[in-house]
């Protein structure tokens, strides 16, 4: 993504959120230097308070039978995860709407289906709207003993589009659309049960509920 000379803050914020939307997990600059089983950072909520740590001894990590299902993302959990990032970039993340369904099949394949899945952020007296539609697919693997899940995308069919709208400049398309061809999840922690799936990303934990 090329950066314009003296870009508007709203464009910069929207670009940050596009990067967050382009992959299931925002990249971790230090992940290559840290061991896979090393200590994880504490989850911090919007109020700046550390969330209580999960008791890994009692928490159901689950197995393929638990994970192999269709899971609907809880949009509010995604909003809470990205809200501090938006705030640091000068905006307020107002809403996450639409549907993101993660379908983990027993044969080891998966799909991520986006239907009008949009993030709306208040910035510079206007709004930045970023929407994703389409289906990505690939293979998935897990390690129940470590409680880690990995998604490897080999076909990216979704598209990201968006714009910034304000009273002065009207509607301005984002400087980049499309998908991130490196999007993947590598050895992220998960907790799986019959009623929910929790996945811990670099910025926080997101929740999924099973579909019938």
pLDDT value of residue 140: 95
pLDDT value of residue 17: 54
Rounded to whole angstroms, the Cα distance separating 181 from 69 reads: 25
Q: Tell me the average pLDDT of the chain.
A: 75
Tokens of 36: 């896979």
Distance of CA 130 to the CA centre of its chain: 13
Candidate from 2-6, 31-35, 192-196 with smallest mean pLDDT: 2-6
Higher pLDDT, 115 or 47: 115
Mind listing the pLDDT tens digit for each residue in 82-132? 999 888 878 899 999 999 999 999 999 999 999 999 999 997 778 989 999
**For 33, which DSSP code?**
G
Angle at 151 between CA 76 and CA 160, to 5 degrees: 55
pLDDT higher than 50, residue 211: yes
Higher pLDDT, 199 or 62: 199
Tokens of 122: 């208040």
What residues form DSSP beta bridges with 170?
Answer: 166
> What pTM did the predictor assign?
0.71
Domain ranges of the chain: 9-24+61-210
Rounded to whole angstroms, the Cα distance separating 70 from 1 reads: 33
pLDDT value of residue 194: 84
pLDDT value of residue 2: 38
pLDDT higher than 60, residue 14: no
Looking at residues 36-45, what average pLDDT do you find? 42
Residues in the chain: 212
Candidate from 29-38, 71-80, 130-139, 154-163 with smallest mean pLDDT: 29-38
CATH code of 9-24+61-210, in short, is 2.40.128
pLDDT value of residue 156: 87
Phi and psi at 77, nearest 5°, equal -65, -35
Mind listing the pLDDT tens digit for each residue in 149-199? 999 877 889 998 988 888 888 888 887 555 555 556 788 999 998 889 999
pLDDT value of residue 172: 86
């Amino acid at each position: 993504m090329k950066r314009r000379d003296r870009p508007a803050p709203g464009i910069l914020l929207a670009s940050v959120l596009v990067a967050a939307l382009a992959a299931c997990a925002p990249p971790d600059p230090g992940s290559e230097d840290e061991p896979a089983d090393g200590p994880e950072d504490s989850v911090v909520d919007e109020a700046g308070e550390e969330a209580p740590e999960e008791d890994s001894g009692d928490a159901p990590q689950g197995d393929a039978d638990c994970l192999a299902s269709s899971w609907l993302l809880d949009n509010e959990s995604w909003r809470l995860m990205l809200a501090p990032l938006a705030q640091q970039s000068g905006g307020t993340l107002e809403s996450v709407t639409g549907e993101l369904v993660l379908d983990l099949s027993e044969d080891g394949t998966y799909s991520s289906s986006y239907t009008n899945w949009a993030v709306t952020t208040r910035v510079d007296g206007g709004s930045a709207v970023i929407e994703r539609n389409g289906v990505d697919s690939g293979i998935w693997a897990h390690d129940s003993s470590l409680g880690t899940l990995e998604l490897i995308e080999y076909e990216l069919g979704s598209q990201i589009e968006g714009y910034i709208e304000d009273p002065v400049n009207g509607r301005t398309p984002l400087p980049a659309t499309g998908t991130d061809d490196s999007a993947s999840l590598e050895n992220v922690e998960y907790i799986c049960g019959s009623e929910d799936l929790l996945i811990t990303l670099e910025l926080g934990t997101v929740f999924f509920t099973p579909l019938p």
